């Protein structure tokens, strides 16, 4: 199956306008024409579209969605603050500096101390809140996975378009070194997701334990025993991110 077809079939519809326009790049490259003429204007138009339009569009979108996912996670943590009274964070989830915050000092653990200043919620309100947060965590999980797929597909599209240029039009100029440098400056992969994934897994654990009716003195933010589908998918996503990071580093 040609990559253009694969890309079209893999698009996450809410983000359809944010993907690389692979067909436009092929058209600019004159990939489907018998005319072998290739002018300096053609070269400039293709390189500008690839490096300055398509790559920038994808990079900016990844940065924007990544920040929104972090913000939504923070909002979930904020909602759960009143339920954090008397719950301890697990020692096995401590950060490098010995506390249970992520690399930016964010997270439910860092905020839990303020919860003692707030009144406890009624059981009905508590259950409603937990279910609302769980639905939001499922949504954030889904978009986290979609963003990884989005990142991977668009990275592949940029590289394939570059290789196609160098094969068809690269007699005097190879574009790949330039594009590689541009991708370093404008990465098409998400940043290290470990802090966000840690926060999400901790939230899943806390919500699941709360919904299962565990007593507060037996609950821990750091407990890994959650059976939530979203938490499992986050662990898989984390492995995908790590594998991608290691491959790119090599």
Is residue 106 scored above 60 in pLDDT? no
3-state secondary structure of 172: coil
Per-residue confidence (pLDDT) for residue 235, from 0 to 100: 47
Confidence band for 198, pLDDT divided at 50, 70 and 90: confident
Percentage, residues of the chain above pLDDT 70:
68
Task: Answer whether 2's CB lies under 8 Å from 160's CB.
Answer: no
CA 54 centroid distance within chain:
19
Res 85: pLDDT: 60
Rounded to an integer, the average pLDDT of 80-107 is 53
Mean pLDDT in residue range 128-150? 94
DSSP category for residue 116:
T
Please give the Cα distance from 231 to 225 (Å, whole number). 10
**What would the pLDDT profile of 20-34 be if each residue is shown by its tens digit?**
999 999 999 988 777
pLDDT classification of 123: cutoffs 50, 70, 90: confident
The label of the residue with tokens 């025993």 reads 225
Report the candidate in 154, 128, 137, 140 with the shortest Cα–Cα distance to residue 59: 154
Calculate Rg over the CA atoms of the chain.
23
CB 58 within 8 A of CB 18: yes
- Note whether 237 and 144 are within 8 A (CB): yes
**Averaged confidence pLDDT in the chain:** 79
pTM > 0.95: no
CA–CA separation, 136 and 129 (whole Å): 11
* Banded pLDDT at 86 (limits 50, 70, 90): low
DSSP 208-224: HHHHTT--GGG-BTT--
Answer yes or no: is pLDDT of 57 > 90. yes
User: Does the structure show a pLDDT above 90 at 84?
Assistant: no
Whether the pLDDT of residue 184 is over 90: the answer is yes
Higher pLDDT, 66 or 86: 66
| Per-residue confidence (pLDDT) for residue 81, from 0 to 100 | 86
Cα separation values, 187 from 24, 48, 55, 158, 179, Å: 21, 17, 9, 11, 11
- Flag whether pLDDT at 229 surpasses 80: no
Contact status, residue 46 vs residue 31, Cβ threshold 8 Å: no
Residue 238 CB partners (closer than 8 Å, separation 6+): 193, 194, 197
Quick check: 224 pLDDT over 50? Answer: no
Using DSSP's 3-state secondary structure scheme, residue 225 falls into: coil
CA 50 to chain CA centroid, Å, is 23
Mean pLDDT to the nearest integer, 6-11: 94
Percent of the chain, pLDDT > 90? 51
């Amino acid at each position: 199956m040609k990559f253009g077809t694969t890309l079209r079939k893999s698009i996450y519809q809410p983000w359809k306008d944010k993907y690389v326009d692979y067909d436009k790049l092929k058209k600019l490259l004159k990939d489907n024409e018998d005319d072998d003429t290739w002018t300096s204007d053609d070269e400039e138009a293709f390189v500008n579209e690839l490096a300055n339009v398509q790559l920038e569009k994808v990079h900016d979108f990844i940065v924007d969605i990544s920040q929104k996912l972090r913000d939504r996670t923070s909002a979930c943590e904020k909602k759960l603050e009143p339920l954090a009274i008397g719950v301890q964070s697990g020692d096995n989830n401590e950060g490098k500096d010995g506390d249970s915050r992520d690399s930016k000092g964010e997270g439910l653990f860092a905020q839990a101390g303020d919860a003692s200043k707030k009144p406890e919620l009624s059981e009905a309100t508590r259950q409603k809140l937990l279910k609302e947060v769980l639905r939001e965590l499922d949504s954030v999980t889904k978009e986290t996975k979609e963003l990884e797929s989005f990142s991977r597909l668009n990275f592949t599209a940029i590289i394939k378009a570059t290789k196609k240029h160098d094969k068809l039009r690269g007699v005097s100029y190879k574009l790949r070194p330039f594009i590689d440098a541009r991708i370093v400056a404008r990465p098409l992969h998400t940043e290290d997701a470990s802090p966000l994934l840690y926060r999400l897994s901790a939230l899943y654990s806390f919500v699941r334990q709360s919904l299962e009716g565990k007593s507060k003195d037996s609950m821990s933010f750091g407990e890994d025993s959650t059976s939530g589908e979203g938490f499992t998918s986050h662990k898989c996503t984390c492995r995908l991110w790590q594998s991608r990071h290691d491959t790119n580093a090599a």
